[in-house]
Amino acid sequence: MNNPILMKNLRVVPDFPIPGIQFQDITTLFDKPECLHLMRDETVGLYRDKGITKVIGLESRGFMLGAVVASELNAGFVMARKPNKLPGKVLSVEYDKEYGKDTICMTSDAITTEDTVLIHDDLLATGGSMRAAIDLVRQFNPRRIYVNFIIELTIEGLHGRDILNDVEITTLMRV
């Protein structure tokens, strides 16, 4: 989609968090009402007719727009979090990161077989955390799973979309 207003307001921070990385900073999209409204409206427009009943936001940047979109779609919002952050019984999936492993968790009663799910996060790079989220959501056996990101990095060597090829993916911006 690459809305010119969103692209103009996306801040790139060189050499963060390490030298050579061009960090795509979404904070500048959230602190401007016009950008926040555009992200909300564009995302809701993509999913308005898909029958979404639950939106899952990945910790933590997926919580911000995910909750807004859930409200606009009249859907529930579910947090996918790191270990020991959710009360009660949880389901989890461990996944590999560039320098180790991580785990993503959801409460065991968060999704039903009647749900159509949208999983939302801020950024698609390698796809590892979203792959884990999809695998986690599949444990609940929902009707359908959709995936959305604010930004997809198209840098050579990053093949995040390739490992997510079993779901429908949309992004608001490709950089």
Catalytic residue list contains 94:
no
Question: Is 46:148 a contact under the CB 8 Å cutoff?
Answer: yes
Residue written as token pair 């159509």: 116
Residue 4: half-sphere exposure toward Cβ, Cα within 13 Å: 0
Q: Which of 40, 59, 61, 174 is catalytic?
A: 61
Catalytic residue list contains 114:
no
Q: Which of 11, 48, 59, 98 is catalytic?
A: 98
Which residues are part of the catalytic machinery?
61, 98
